[in-house]
Amino acid sequence: MCIIATLFLLLPAEASSQTEGLKCLVLDAGHGGRDSGCLSKDKKYSEKNIVLSVVLKLGKMIEEEHPDVKVVYTRKKDVFIPLAERADIANRNKADLFISVHVNANPSTVPRGSETFTMGTHVSDRNFEVSKRENAVIKMEEDYTTKYEGFNPDSPESYIIFSLLQNAYSEQSIKFAKFIQDEYAKGPVKHGRGVKQAGFLVLWRTTMPSVLTEIGFLSNQEDLKILVTEQGQTKIARRLADAFTKYKEDYESHNSLDKEPAEPNNEPEDKIEQIEQIDQFYAIQIMAVNKKLASDAPDLKGRRDARYIYQDGRYKYYLGRYNTREEALKELSEVRKSFKGAFVIVIK
């Protein structure tokens, strides 16, 4: 596997709709062409070929089981696709979900198992090494220092920018990542390494829930035996397809006009426009962050009317107070001019 981070300037112009069913899925087979990704010790097996096989199997399963979903592939053959283009494909298609599939490797033969990443700041040396390896692929692109605004995938300082980034789809991405890891536990690669965060450009640039999943280690003999077989690849694709089905059902139940999400758990006190104890209303969520923001925080872009609810350990900032979802939807496009990932929520 291989991927990165840069500045807010690269955000695409449009975000996918969060108010309809899940209609478009983008599947990304990591690496390709001159970028082989990880290799087995004997150089016989490459990451690029394994993940392409898994992705094609996964796409076929979803197309057959969910005919209402449009499946888009970043690549369907052995070709090199720049990192930025992979995310741009998802954004152009206004995808509702993005899945990037990769294979792991380590100098040691001991590490094994699957893990799934969402975009964020790495909190361990191991996560940094993964993101550094994945992001190093930009060196294969022409004029990458200009294209990625001087980002150096080998420099820890380049990743500091991630501490400033906010991802409006963080909550949904983490939820889907958990579905994936739960399904992986059924095998064939049963050892789970959990859901993690790290700085991957391909995830940051996407304007929809996105995950990057590592299906196993080519450097571990137990994982290798599974990853290189047709049967093993089919079973892995099956786990991902089942995770997708669960996420789709959850997504559509929470975005249906006829169903409402669970009641949020509001934090009891606040200095910045805390939500009052009131009846149900609709609002437009603009971001979900780990720390409470000051009323003049740059992330709020001058919107001093932004309020928040505290739920699941995150501060979810929103704008407006509407009696119906339809009223909120009328304002959504205007809000998205400033907050690309905004979507309608209900607050009870």
How much is the average pLDDT of 287-314? 83
* pTM score: 0.65
Within a domain: 259: no
What is the bridge-based pairing of β-strands 210-217 and 307-311?
unpaired
**pLDDT-based confidence at residue 316 (cuts at 50, 70, 90):** confident
Lowest-pLDDT choice from 30-34, 177-181, 286-290: 286-290
Residue 336 clears pLDDT 50, i.e. is over it:
yes
Q: Are residues 158 and 297 in the same domain?
A: no
* Torsion sign (Cα): 290, 296, 302, 306: positive
Residue at token pair 């991957």: 200
- Please indicate, yes or no, whether residues 222 and 286 belong to a single structural domain of this protein: no
User: Domain residues for 229?
Assistant: 8-254
Q: Based on the structure, what is the number of domains in the chain?
A: 2
Q: What's the pLDDT score for residue 280? A: 83
Other Cβ atoms less than 10 A from the Cβ of 337: the count is: 9
Local confidence band at 288 (pLDDT 50, 70, 90 cut-offs)? confident
* 143 plus 230 within the same structural domain: yes
**What element of type H or E holds 126?**
helix 125-135
Q: What percentage of the chain reaches a pLDDT higher than 70?
A: 72
pLDDT in tens, 104-127: 999 999 999 999 999 865 444 554
What is the C-alpha separation between 112 and 226, in angstroms, rounded?
A: 12
Please indicate, yes or no, whether residues 220 and 323 belong to a single structural domain of this protein: no
Higher-pLDDT residue of 324 and 10 is: 324
CA distance 47 to 51: 6
Is residue 260 situated within a structural domain? no
* One-letter amino acid for residue 119 of the chain: M
Give the span between the Cα atoms of 56 and 27, in whole angstroms. Answer: 9
Instruction: Indicate if 64 and 189 belong to the same structural domain.
Output: yes
Distance from C-alpha of 156 to C-alpha of 159, rounded to nearest angstrom: 5
- Looking at the domain assignment, is residue 97 inside a domain? yes
Residue 104 domain flag: yes
206 and 318: one domain?
no
The answer to the question of residue 269 being in a domain is no
Residue 15 has pLDDT above 50, yes or no: no
List the one residue out of 215, 3, 208 whose CA is nearest residue 93. 208
Is residue 243 assigned to a domain?
yes
Strand partners, 309: 316
Bridge partners (DSSP) listed for residue 315: 289, 310
Q: Are residues 327 and 178 part of one domain? A: no
Q: Please indicate, yes or no, whether residues 65 and 29 belong to a single structural domain of this protein.
A: yes
- How far is it, in rounded angstroms, from Cα 185 to Cα 203? 24
pLDDT tens for 154-209 read 555 555 454 444 456 788 899 999 999 999 999 999 999 999 987 777 787 787 88
Residue 274 included in any domain: no
Please report the pLDDT score of residue 267 as a whole number: 44
Same domain, 286 and 244: no
> What's the rounded mean pLDDT across residues 39-44?
94
| 302 burial type by CB count under 10 A (0-12 exposed, 13-18 middle, 19+ buried) | exposed
Which domain CATH number covers 287?
3.30.70.1070
Same domain, 230 and 338: no
Residues 242-280 have pLDDT tens digits of: 999 999 998 887 654 333 334 444 444 443 344 444 468
Relative to beta strand 24-29, strand 343-347 is unpaired
Q: Are residues 248 and 300 in the same domain?
A: no
Same domain, 310 and 211: no
Return d(Cα 214, Cα 201) in angstroms, integer: 16
Q: How far is CA 98 from the centre of its chain?
A: 6
**In the predicted model, what is the mean pLDDT of the chain?**
79
Residue carrying the six token digits 């932004």: 306
Query: Between 294 and 179, whose confidence is greater?
Result: 179
CA 90 vs CA 49, 83, 160, 205, 314: distances in Å: 21, 12, 26, 9, 27
| CATH number of the domain within which 203 lies | 3.40.630.40
Residue 54 amino acid letter = V
Supply the pLDDT for residue 167. 54
What average pLDDT does range 141-158 have in this prediction? 55
